[in-house]
Amino acid sequence: MAAQERERRIQGIHRLALRVPDLPAAQRFYRDVWLLSDQGRDGAFEAFRSSAEDHDDVLLVEGPSQIAHLAFAVASPDDLDAITSRLEAAGFSFKRIADEAMFRADAAAAVALDPDGREVWLVVPRPGTVTAVDALPLAPHRIGHIVLWTPAQEAAERFYTLLGFAITDRTNAGMSFLRCNADHHSLALMKSTKGKTGLQHIAFDVGSLDNVMRNFARLRGLEVECAWGVGRHGPGNNVFSYYTDPAGNYIEYYGEMELFDADAPVETRIWGPEHKGDVWGLAGVPPLGFRE
C-alpha cells in the first residue's frame, strides 16, 4: 500500500452505540457509577460523553443486549471517499447516510457491515456538539479501545485493515490487537470457537495507574464488584480493572497504554501460552464469559 493510501485511514473510535434491555438502569450506571456526562437524547438514543471528548461517544437504546453500531472517525470527506472505495474494491458494500439520518456529532457518514454482520459507521465528525461541563476528576477521558468476538478472525482482520488498521500483537489465546493511531490498539478481535459475534469488552482510558486504583477504590465503596483486576496487560502494557454494566457487558478502566509513532510501521509480536493476561500475576483468572 502506498504512503498516501496509508494516510487515508480512520483516526480512532468515534462512538459505540449499544442496545440494552433495561435502559433506565444502564443510564444510571453510565452516569452515576461510570461517570460519563449525560447529554440527553439524540434521536432514539440516550447520549453520553467521556470527559476529554467534544462529542457523544456512548449511545444507549432499549433492546436485546448487543451492539447497535460501532463508529470510527475519519479526518475528511476525501478520506471517507478513499476508504469506502477500498471497501467497494474488496467486495464490501456500503451506503451513505442521509443528512436527516445522521447523529448530531456527524458531518458526513457511511455505513458498512463487517464479516460478522456488525454495523460499522465511518464518520467525519462535527465537533463541538455537546454542552461544556466540569468533568469529575476520575471520569474516563475517552473510549480507548473496543474488543469484538469473531468466529471468522481472518475475514474480520481483512475488513478492518481495509479501514487502515494494522496488526500490532497477537496472542496464543486467539486475540489480535489492531492500531490506527498512536495507541497500541484501538480495536482487538477475539477468536470465538462458539460462534460469538458480540462485544467482548469496552475500555475507557482514565490516564494513569493512580486513576485506575482510585476508581477501583471508588467502585468498591459503591459495592460494585470488580470482575477482573487490578493487573497489567502484556500486549499494550496498560493497567486494568474490569466490571460489568447492567446489560452484562464487560467494561474496563485502564491507563498507561503503550504508544507508538502513529505513522511508523511496527513489527507484529506474538505472545505465547506463558502469557496469562496479567504480567503482575495479581489479577487471577479472567471470568469465563470474558474468555470463551
Note whether residue 137 is domain-resident: no
Quick one: 118 and 162 in the same domain?
Answer: no
Q: What confidence tens digit (pLDDT) does each residue in 64-122 have?
A: 999 999 999 999 999 999 999 999 999 999 999 999 999 999 999 999 999 999 999 99
pLDDT digits (tens, 9 = 90+) for 237-280: 999 999 999 999 999 999 999 999 988 888 899 998 888 889 99
Q: Are residues 236 and 114 in the same domain?
A: no
Same domain assignment for residues 92 and 173: no
d(CA 143, CA 13): 7
User: Which of 125, 156, 171 finishes a domain?
Assistant: 125
Residues 192-236: pLDDT tens digits? 988 999 999 999 999 999 999 999 999 999 999 999 999 999 999
Structural domains of the chain, count: 2
Q: What is the SS3 string spanning 34-60? A: CCCEEEEEECCEEEEECCCCCCCCEEE
Asked whether residue 130 is assigned to any structural domain, the reply reads no
Q: Are residues 146 and 282 in the same domain?
A: yes
**Is the domain of 72 the same as that of 210?**
no
Round to whole Å and give the CA distance between 159 and 24: 35
For position 274, what pLDDT does the model report? Answer: 84
Does 110 share its domain with 181? no
Please give the grid coordinates belonging to residue 96: 451513505
- Does residue 275 sit within a domain? yes
Identify the band that residue 133 occupies on the pLDDT scale cut at 50, 70 and 90: low
**Would 136 be classed as within a structural domain?**
no
Is residue 132 in some structural domain?
no
